[in-house]
Amino acid sequence: MSIKIDHELCTGCASCVESCMYGAIELNNNIAKVLPNCTLCGACIEACPEEAISLERGDIKTKKIDISQYKGVWVIAEHYKNKIHNVAFQLLRKGRELADLLQVNLTLVILGANFDDKLEEFSQYGMDEILYVRAPILKDYYSDLYVKVISELVVQNNPEIILIGATPTGRDFAPRIAKRLNAGLTADCTGLEINPETKNLLQTRPTYGGNILATIQTPSSRPQMATVRPGIFKIPEKVQKDVKIRTIEYQFKEKDSVTKIVKVISKTKNTVNLEDAKYIVAGGRGVGSKENFKLLKDLANVLGAELGGSRITIELNWLDPDRQIGQTGKTVNPKLYIACGISGAIQHIVGMQNSDIIVAINKDPNAPIFHWAHYGIIGDLNEIIPILIQEFKKLKSEE
Amino acid sequence: MKIFVCTKQVPGISEVKIDPKTNTLIREGVESILNPNDRNALEMALVLKEEQKAEVIALTMGPPQAEEILREALAMGVDKVVLLSDRAFAGADTLATSYTLALAIKKILKESDSEENYLIICGSQAVDGDTGQVPPELAEELGIPQITYVQKLELSEDKIVVERKFRATEIVVIETKLPALISVLTDINKPRFPTMMGIMKAYENSNVIYFDSKNLNADISKIGLNGSMTEVKKIFFPERNGKRIILEGSPEEVVKKLCHHLQEDKIL
Ligand SMILES: Cc1cc2nc3c(=O)[nH]c(=O)nc-3n(C[C@H](O)[C@H](O)[C@H](O)COP(=O)(O)OP(=O)(O)OC[C@H]3O[C@@H](n4cnc5c(N)ncnc54)[C@H](O)[C@@H]3O)c2cc1C
C-alpha cells in the first residue's frame, strides 16, 4: 500500500503539500514526493487538481457488502432520570433532512423503561417511526446492554445511517457497536451532508486541536455511524404527523450486565445549562480576575443570559469547569453570544461559532475573535460593559 | 496482575498555529509528544503497581520514532514497553488500531505462563484525532467490559470499582470483574516526572520490544488502511463567517450602535 504520484500529471502546484497535515509531502524538482512519515490518510488525493495522486491498495481481498440493502436513518436517544437528552431531538432535525434527501424513513430509537406515556409527545419531532425497546433495567444506562440491543436491532433492520449524541454515554456505546458490526464511525461531527452522486454520508469534524476540519466518509461499509455534539443542531419545530410506534420487550435481568451500578453521586449545584441558553455572556483571560467576573454576571443578569468562559478562566479557577466553552468544553448555539476579553483561539471558536449573533469586546484590534464576530467593539471591557448594562436596562424598561 | 497502558505519539497541538496570511498550518517547531492524557493513564498504572504487585506494560502503535514516548514511559517507571510498528499498519483508523493493539495484548498474555488477571488503562482521548473510540473498540475486540471517562479506581484481585463521570454534575460508581478496560480523564492525577535514574535506565538498557504484522500473525485485511472503514475525503480550514462590523466611536456611541444592530436583528 502506498501513495503514488503520476509524474506525467503532476504540475508541481503544491496543493498536496498544503493539504498534508503530517508534512509528509514535499516538492522535489517541482514534482511531489511522498516522505516516509506518510500515514496514507489520503487527504492529498482529493486536494490534487490534476488527479495525479492515487492510492495503491495492493490486491487484498476484503469482504464486500451490498450497501444498497441498507435503508433508513436512525437517531439513538439517551436519557437520564427519565428525561431524553436534547441532543436526540437536535439530531432528528438533521436526520429528517438526510432522510428526505435519501427518500428513506427516519427512526428514533429509545431504550428505556418508563416512556410509554411520553412517546406521543416525542412523535412531534418529525420522525416516521419510533422504535422503543422496553425493559425495567433500561431505566439506567448499561454499556453492554445498549451495545447488545442496538447491534441486534441494526442487524435485523439494516439502517444506512446512525446518529448518536457525542456525550460520555454516546461515546461509550457507539464505538463498541461500530466494532461489533465492523462499521465506520466518525466522532464529534459538526457537519453532515449527503454526497449527491454516491449517496455516501459526508461527515465533517474538527481535528488536530480544532485547527483543521476533515470530511470523512465510509464508502464501502454500512451502517455509517456518526456521533454529534450537543448544540450543533437546533431542536426542530413540532409537527403533527402519523408516527409508527414499535415497542419491543427485552427480558433482561440485572445479572445480564457485566457491570453493576453501585450508586450515583450527584453534585447538586445549580445546574449550568449553556447548551440550551438563548443568551450567553462569556469571559476570557481579559476579564482579569475572579472578582471582576461580577461585571459579566451583572451583564448576564440583565439579559437573562448564562455565563460561560474560555478554558483559561477555568484553569485559573475563575469559573466552574461546567462553564467552559470550546473544543474541550461545551458547544453552544445561542441567539446572542457576547465574548468579553476572549482572544478567539480556534479551540474556543469551534464551541461557539454556531451562535446566531456574536459580539466581541476586546482591546486588541488584531484579536482573531474579530474575524468571527458579527459586531466588534475595540475597547476595554471594564469601560464598555458598565455602559452596556445601563443601555440594556434602559431598553428593558422601555419594553 | 498485568496492567497494560495504551499510549500514542501525537503532535504537540498547543504549539500549532495557523498562518493568517496563507491560511495554512505553521508546522515548524511542532514536536511529537506523548499524548498528555496518556500520562494520566500511566500515572494511575504506576500508583497501582506501587500499591499491589503488578507488572505495567506500555504499548503504542506507530512509526519507529514512537520509541521516544515509550522511553519516556520507561523513565516514568513502567516495566516493559512494546512498539507495534510496520508499514502495513499505516492508514489505520480506530477499527484497525484497536484490532492491532488487541493482537499484541493477546500475544503478551499468551506468552506469560501464569493465568494472570489483567487491566487495560487508556487515556480518554488523544489530542490529534480526539475520537476517544479506540478504548471501547479495544475492549470489544478482547471481549472484556469497558468503563470510560473514569476519574477514580479501586482495584482488587478480581474486580474494579470505579467512578465514572457521565455528566458535568453526576458521577456513577460502577463495579465490574477483571479483566477489564478503563479510559481515564485528564486532571485526575499529577503525572510524575521521570527521575534521572529512570531516564538513564530507559536509555541504557534499551528494551523496547518490537512487534510487526508477521509476529502478530495479523490478518492483513484487518490492519492499516485495509482494515479501516472510514476514509478522509477532504481536509480544509475553518471558514471565518463573521459579518465583521467593527463599531466605532466613543464607548457610549459604540454601545448605542450595538443595541441598534441587535434590535434590527431582532435579538433584543
Ligand atoms: C487541545 C486543546 C483544547 C483546548 N480547548 C479549549 C476549549 O475548549 N475552550 C477554550 O476556550 N480554549 C481551549 N483551549 C485553549 C485555547 O487554545 C486558548 O488558549 C484559550 O481559548 C485562550 O483563552 P482566552 O481567549 O480567554 O485568553 P487569551 O488568549 O489570553 O486572550 C485574552 C484576550 O483578552 C483581551 N483583553 C485583555 N484585557 C482586556 C480588557 N481589559 N478589555 C478587553 N479585552 C481585554 C486580550 O486582548 C486578549 O485578546 C484548548 C487548547 C488546546 C491545546
Q: Which of B13, B148, B226 sits opposite A62 (nearest CB)?
A: B226
Half-sphere exposure of B132 (CA within 13 A, CB side): 27
Give the residue numbers spanning the domain of B69.
Answer: 2-222
Phi/psi for A112 (5° steps) reads: -165, -170
Give the ranges where A103-221 is alpha helix by DSSP (H): 119-122, 143-157, 170-181
For the Cβ of A376 lying below 6 angstroms from any atom of ligand 1, the answer is no
Q: Is residue A270 part of a domain?
A: no
CB contact under 8 A, A376 and B245: yes
pLDDT at B21: 60
Q: What is the CATH number of the domain that holds A324?
A: 3.40.50.1220
pLDDT of B242 > 60? The answer is: no
Which grid coordinates belong to B10?
A: 501525537
pLDDT at A58: 61
Report yes or no: A367 and A311 within 8 Å, Cβ to Cβ.
no
Q: Is residue B250 part of a domain?
A: no
Choose between A267 and A314: higher pLDDT. A314
CB contact under 8 A, A188 and B240: no
Per-residue confidence at B16, pLDDT binned at 50, 70, 90?
A: low
Residues of B in contact with A357 (CB under 8 A): 262, 265, 267
Sign of CA dihedral A167, A105, A355, B260: negative
Q: Which of A23, A46, A171 sits opposite B27 (nearest CB)?
A: A23
Contact B132/A at CB under 8 A? yes
Per-residue confidence at A73, pLDDT binned at 50, 70, 90?
A: very high
Q: What is the CATH number of the domain that holds A30?
A: 3.30.70.20
Count: domains in chain A:
3
- Among B161, B174, B159, smallest CA distance to B118 is for B159
pLDDT at B47: 97
Residue carrying C-alpha cell 447488545: A148
Count: domains in chain B:
1
Residues A117 and A39 in one domain: no
Q: Is residue B217 part of a domain?
A: yes
Q: Which residue minimizes the CA distance to atom 31 of ligand 1? A: A343
Q: Is residue A315 part of a domain?
A: yes
- With the CA atoms of A252, A258, A263 and A265 taken in that order, what torsion angle do they form, in degrees rounded to the nearest 10? -110
Which residues make beta-bridge pairs with A185? A225
Q: Is residue A259 part of a domain?
A: no
For the Cβ of A342 lying below 6 angstroms from any atom of ligand 1, the answer is yes
Tell me the pairing of strands A83-84 and A79-80.
Answer: antiparallel
Per-residue confidence at A208, pLDDT binned at 50, 70, 90?
A: confident
Q: What is the CATH number of the domain that holds B199?
A: 3.40.50.620
**Residue A254: CB atoms within 10 Å:** 10
The ipTM is: 0.91
Report yes or no: B52 and B118 within 8 Å, Cβ to Cβ.
no
> In 3-state terms, chain B is what percent helix, strand and coil (to 5)?
30, 30, 40
CB contact under 8 A, A207 and B130: yes
pLDDT of B132 > 70? The answer is: yes
Determine which helix (DSSP H) or strand (DSSP E) holds B152, and give its type and residue range. Answer: strand B146-155
Q: Is residue A268 part of a domain?
A: no
Among the residue ranges A123-137, A225-239, B105-119, B239-253, the one predicted with the least confidence is B239-253
Q: Is residue B232 part of a domain?
A: no
Interface test with B, best of A278, A337, A387, A395 (most B CBs within 10 A): A387
Measure B196 CA to nearest chain A CA, in Å.
Answer: 30
Residues A243 and A318 in one domain: no
CA of A6 from ligand 1 middle (Å) equals: 44
Three-state DSSP class for A155? helix
pLDDT per position as a tens digit, B18-71? 665 655 666 666 788 999 999 999 999 999 999 988 999 999 999 999 999 999
Which is the closest atom of ligand 1 to the Cα of A344? Answer: 25
CA of B164 from ligand 1 middle (Å) equals: 29
Cα–Cα distance measured from residue A322 to residue A314, given in angstroms and rounded to the nearest whole number: 9
CA of A314 from ligand 1 middle (Å) equals: 11
pLDDT per position as a tens digit, A55-66? 876 655 556 788
Which grid coordinates belong to B261?
A: 444592530
Report yes or no: B43 and B72 within 8 Å, Cβ to Cβ.
no
Most informative mutation of A281, A343, A358, A380 for ligand 1 (most atoms within 8 A of CB): A343
Give the ranges where A103-217 is alpha helix by DSSP (H): 119-122, 143-157, 170-181
Give one DSSP letter per residue of B179-204, joined into a string: SEEEEE-TTSS-PPPPPHHHHHHHHH
Residues A224 and A237 in one domain: yes
Which is the closest atom of ligand 1 to the Cα of A209? Answer: 1
Among the residue ranges A7-11, A68-72, A100-104, B13-17, the one predicted with the least confidence is B13-17
Q: Which residue on chain A is closest to B14 by alpha carbon?
A: A209
Residues of B in contact with A379 (CB under 8 A): 251, 254
Which is the closest atom of ligand 1 to the Cα of A369? Answer: 49
Cα–Cα distance measured from residue B28 to residue B75, given in angstroms and rounded to the nearest whole number: 27
Half-sphere exposure of B228 (CA within 13 A, CB side): 22
pLDDT of B187 > 90? The answer is: no
DSSP state of A5: E
Report yes or no: A341 and A286 within 8 Å, Cβ to Cβ.
yes
For the Cβ of A373 lying below 6 angstroms from any atom of ligand 1, the answer is no
A38 to each of A32, A217, A327, A345, how far by Cα in Å?
A: 13, 20, 26, 28
Q: Which residue minimizes the CA distance to atom 37 of ligand 1? A: A286
Which grid coordinates belong to B73?
A: 514511559
Cα–Cα distance measured from residue A42 to residue B231, given in angstroms and rounded to the nearest whole number: 7
Helices B67-76 + B196-204 axis angle, to 10: 130
Report yes or no: B220 and B75 within 8 Å, Cβ to Cβ.
no
For the Cβ of A347 lying below 6 angstroms from any atom of ligand 1, the answer is yes
Phi/psi for A348 (5° steps) reads: -80, -45
Give the residue numbers spanning the domain of A292.
Answer: 275-398
pLDDT per position as a tens digit, B69-98? 999 999 999 999 999 999 999 889 999 999
For the Cβ of A19 lying below 6 angstroms from any atom of ligand 1, the answer is no
Residues A302 and A390 in one domain: yes
Residues A84 and A29 in one domain: no
For the Cβ of A207 lying below 6 angstroms from any atom of ligand 1, the answer is no
Cα–Cα distance measured from residue A283 to residue B90, given in angstroms and rounded to the nearest whole number: 42
Residues A293 and A243 in one domain: no
pLDDT at B240: 62
Report yes or no: A200 and A219 within 8 Å, Cβ to Cβ.
yes
pLDDT at B94: 94
Report yes or no: A308 and A281 within 8 Å, Cβ to Cβ.
yes
CA of A219 from ligand 1 middle (Å) equals: 38
CB contact under 8 A, A185 and B230: yes
CB contact under 8 A, A215 and B130: no
Residues A114 and A239 in one domain: yes
Sign of CA dihedral B113, B72, B104, A173: positive
Which grid coordinates belong to B32?
A: 511529537
Q: Which residue minimizes the CA distance to atom 29 of ligand 1? A: A343
Cα–Cα distance measured from residue B110 to residue B121, given in angstroms and rounded to the nearest whole number: 19
Predicted TM-score of the model (pTM): 0.85
Measure B65 CA to nearest chain A CA, in Å.
Answer: 10
For the Cβ of A367 lying below 6 angstroms from any atom of ligand 1, the answer is yes
Q: Which of A141, A259, A266 sits opposite B145 (nearest CB)?
A: A259
Q: Is residue B256 part of a domain?
A: no
pLDDT of A399 > 80? The answer is: no
Q: Which of B16, B24, B247 sits opposite A18 (nearest CB)?
A: B24
Q: Is residue B192 part of a domain?
A: yes
Domain end call among A48, A63, A78: A63
Tell me the pairing of strands A306-309 and A279-283.
Answer: parallel
Report yes or no: A1 and A40 within 8 Å, Cβ to Cβ.
yes
CA of B19 from ligand 1 middle (Å) equals: 18
Measure B177 CA to nearest chain A CA, in Å.
Answer: 7
Task: Report the residue count for chain B.
Answer: 268
Burial B134-152 (b: 16+ CB within 10 A, else e): bbbbbbbbbebbbbbbbbb
Residues A227 and A333 in one domain: no
- Among A324, A316, A330, A329, smallest CA distance to A287 is for A316
Residues A109 and A222 in one domain: yes
Residue carrying C-alpha cell 495554512: B24
- Among B155, B137, B131, B126, smallest CA distance to B44 is for B155
Q: What is the CATH number of the domain that holds A158?
A: 3.40.50.620
CA of A75 from ligand 1 middle (Å) equals: 35
Cα–Cα distance measured from residue B177 to residue B156, given in angstroms and rounded to the nearest whole number: 10
Q: Which residue minimizes the CA distance to atom 52 of ligand 1? A: B14
Q: Is residue B142 part of a domain?
A: yes
Q: Is residue A127 part of a domain?
A: yes
Q: What is the mean pLDDT of chain A?
A: 92
pLDDT of B15 > 80? The answer is: no
Which is the closest atom of ligand 1 to the Cα of B130? Answer: 1
Cα–Cα distance measured from residue A57 to residue A41, given in angstroms and rounded to the nearest whole number: 12
Q: Is residue B141 part of a domain?
A: yes
Residue carrying C-alpha cell 422601555: A398
Cα–Cα distance measured from residue A288 to residue B252, given in angstroms and rounded to the nearest whole number: 22
Q: Which residue minimizes the CA distance to atom 49 of ligand 1? A: A343
Tell me the pairing of strands A212-217 and A201-207.
Answer: antiparallel
Measure B197 CA to nearest chain A CA, in Å.
Answer: 32
Phi/psi for B121 (5° steps) reads: -120, 125
pLDDT at A275: 84
Sign of CA dihedral B59, B61, B64, B66: negative
Q: Is residue A267 part of a domain?
A: no
pLDDT per position as a tens digit, A252-300? 877 889 999 999 998 766 678 898 899 999 999 999 999 999 999 999 9
Q: Which residue on chain A is closest to B265 by alpha carbon?
A: A357
Residues A90 and A59 in one domain: no
Which grid coordinates belong to A45?
A: 488525493
Report yes or no: A305 and A326 within 8 Å, Cβ to Cβ.
no
Q: Which residue on chain B is closest to A185 by alpha carbon?
A: B230
Per-residue confidence at A37, pLDDT binned at 50, 70, 90?
A: confident
CB contact under 8 A, B254 and A377: yes
Q: Which residue minimizes the CA distance to atom 26 of ligand 1? A: A284
Residues A80 and A222 in one domain: yes
CB contact under 8 A, B174 and A262: yes
Q: Is residue B161 part of a domain?
A: yes
